[in-house]
A and B are shown apart, each in its own frame.
Chain A
């Protein structure tokens, strides 16, 4: 009893005396769940290759949440790196600067493809952005008038498609992937002159193009790709949106669709012929370099060809490596310490 009381008192005393935290000796990373698997591989290899440093801690939570944490300020109790599947927004950078995070370094790590896939037993899909827009937009133009999306089956959208009920599992709005989905597919497939003819003001064009139908045929998935895969497992005529890396790890369960006639692969994404891809980034707090042990080494290690080159473990997992010259530029930019 006495010992227990003493121990309790000790813990509570420790809590109250914690004002000055012990110096942090490992890198802390947070952000995008798309970048997470890559960051994990790098962190693990870093821990093995540099026994002098501790293995970095990588939190998940999404690009937006990661950048928000990143921008909270400078200090040992704040994270050093934010992973992001989209470029940082101007207003986010303003918040950063307002909170004292003056110098933010942007590091691009490569590209990620976004693929459409159906169950492995399904037919071949050859998608054009216009098909996706027609199937999933909230309102489409029919006979010169803007009406609620009338299509119920894929075959009504495009006679080449099977007679399946439309059921698409698309990334939810908190995902960085959603933005790519909106700009590269919905907006690209949207017939803007027809919308203008139907009386939509120019200012509302983008909003109308990317509004997704809410009648249950397009389902927002707020979880990870595993959830999308589970949905397709239970609905064999559903179509899901995945990252290329996730698809490659589950190629025995999924059949991938071509977009604009191009099948997604690391080659078609790297040379830009596959239309739906996006760069992946992480952001580094310049004020922490030299303060947090291992931070500079971690970033250098991450952008070395051993990690993001064409034969690297990240490429094997599904990252699309940037072209040689671009990788050189990424390294040169970080070495020069160019802040945003």
Chain B
């Protein structure tokens, strides 16, 4: 009996083999697909890591700045030789402050002021920006004239680079920007504890400058801020109004279809086209000032509008029709239905779309080129009508500079821009979480 049962059992165990629907193959396909997916993500992450590592490793040094603290003698002999400042305050403005800084440093280093060559190297040791630094000290407190006090001067860019170890000292002296003498002075000052590397607030506050050590993102940050405010104030109401009308009120006919196609097209138009439009309309036709964040804001508004309209329409469409029917059913007017019921439910989607549009606008340079915002602007703008630049523009301008010290500042500026973008995207996520409702 047992013998007879065996073939039967064999047939039973063989049965699943006959019912094979290619399970093994399908599982293999799934495993392969998962592998491809993971590989794709890994490649993406690897490139992101390379980007971030290269930017941060080059850029973190831009956030500190070598500074030298020396006792500075505000010699009345140099600032105001003829003692005229009571009658002619202009002498305090045009006084030869760089000489004061140079003499102070020469004294600290024990260099003979008669040694012309050494004095020249010393004046290349501190930033030319000490002119305005010392001038501001004297302007705010003229009683300082004739006294000596400790002042922290910025080191010149090449000295700063040398202090940060960015200059290759194996290169012959004649071929590098820092002489052996200057390096010896730097070490002498370091030993005396007069060299410090504080946080480089100037990177965030100074305007553009041809000297790396006094170059900062101040003008660019203000310009970007103005433009973002203008984009928000113009694009959001116009975009939302257009979307509500198209989605809730307009009849569906060929004309509205035509508009929809156009809006989708505009969202994909290269941004430089908006720059050309801005130049022709805002500057040449309306006569608005060149290089002004107001014009930049309008151009970026035009660029952002299609994105906001598309996002808002999608958000409105995702509100269930039952909400509309219920509102209409209890006697609400169409307007009440839209503003009291549909719009609040669509808010998270609208906000997300707007912030993503703003983030894209924040990173734009091409349209700004044509309206004159890719420029050297040293004065911080007081109003949106004054010349200004933008964050990505400043990055571009610094990337083209010849001086070595601008390399780290370029990466530093990219870090600042990335922080802003990350904050905006974080805000988008938080707002969506806060307002999101599920059915």
Interface centre among A36, A47, A49, A59 (most CB of B within 10 A): A59
Residue A184, interface by CB 8 Å: no
Say whether B82 faces chain A, with CB atoms less than 8 Å apart.
Answer: no
Given contacts A7-B233, A19-B287, A61-B369, contact A249 B404 (CB under 8 A): yes
Whether B376 pairs with A36 at a CB distance below 8 angstroms is yes
Q: Is the CB of A8 within 8 A of B233?
A: yes
8 Å CB contacts to B: which residues of A45-87? 47-49, 51, 54-55, 57-61, 72, 75-77, 79
Distance from B212 Cβ to chain A, minimum over Cβ atoms (Å):
11
Which stretch from A21-29, A107-115, A282-290 is at the chain B interface?
A21-29
Report the bound CA distance from A61 to B131 in whole Å: 31
B250 at the interface (CB under 8 A from A): no
- Chain B residue nearest to A7 (CB atoms) is B233
Given A8-B233, A60-B397, answer yes or no on A21-B288 (Cβ-Cβ < 8 Å): yes
Nearest chain B CB to A33 CB, angstrom units? 7
Instruction: Answer yes or no: A11 CB below 8 A from chain B CBs.
Output: yes
Interface of B is mostly: loop
- Nearest-CB distance from A51 to chain B (Å)? 6
Q: Is the CB of B291 within 8 A of A49?
A: no
Contact across chains for A226 and B230 when beta carbons are under 8 A apart:
no
Q: Is B298 an interface residue (CB 8 A)?
A: yes
Q: Does A332 sit within 8 A of B, measured CB to CB?
A: no
CA distance in complex: A26, B377 (Å): 11
Establish whether residues B237 and A252, one from each chain, have CB atoms under 8 Å apart when the complex forms. Answer: no
Q: Which one of B131, B287, B372 lies within 8 Å of A28 (CB-CB)?
A: B372
* Chain A residues within 8 Å of B236, by CB: 4, 8
Verify A57–B399 contact, CB threshold 8 A. no
Q: Is B183 an interface residue, CB under 8 A from the partner?
A: no
- Is there an interface contact between A11 and B376, defined as CB atoms closer than 8 Å? no
Q: Do A44 and B291 have beta carbons less than 8 Å apart?
A: no
B233 and A37 contact, CB distance less than 8 A:
no
CB distance from B403 to the nearest CB of A (A): 6
B375 near A224 with CB under 8 A, answer no
Residue pair A252, B171 in contact (C-beta under 8 Å): yes
Interface check B196, CB cutoff 8 A: no
Is the Cβ of B403 less than 8 Å from the Cβ of A249? yes
Binding site for B on A (CB under 8 A): 4-5, 7-8, 11-12, 14-15, 18-22, 24, 26, 28, 30, 33, 36-37, 39-41, 43-44, 47-49, 51, 54-55, 57-61, 72, 75-77, 79, 120, 223-226, 245-246, 249-252, 313
Extra contacts, 19 of them, besides A60-B400, A249-B177, A251-B176 (Cβ < 8 A), are A11-B230, A18-B286, A18-B288, A28-B290, A28-B372, A36-B376, A39-B376, A40-B208, A40-B376, A47-B379, A49-B94, A55-B207, A55-B377, A59-B375, A76-B289, A77-B284, A225-B402, A226-B399, A249-B404
Q: Measuring CB to CB, which residues of chain B are less than 8 angstroms from any residue of chain A?
A: 93-94, 128, 131-132, 167-168, 171, 175-177, 207-211, 230, 233-234, 236-237, 283-284, 286-291, 294, 298, 369, 372, 374-379, 385, 387, 397, 399-404
Report the 10 A-B pairs with minimum CB-CB distance, sorted nearest first: A55-B378, A58-B376, A249-B402, A59-B375, A40-B210, A224-B400, A252-B171, A57-B387, A8-B237, A8-B233
Q: List 22 A-B contacts (CB under 8 A).
A: A7-B233, A20-B287, A21-B385, A28-B372, A40-B208, A43-B376, A44-B209, A47-B378, A47-B379, A49-B94, A55-B377, A55-B379, A57-B372, A59-B372, A59-B376, A79-B290, A224-B400, A225-B402, A249-B177, A249-B404, A252-B168, A313-B128
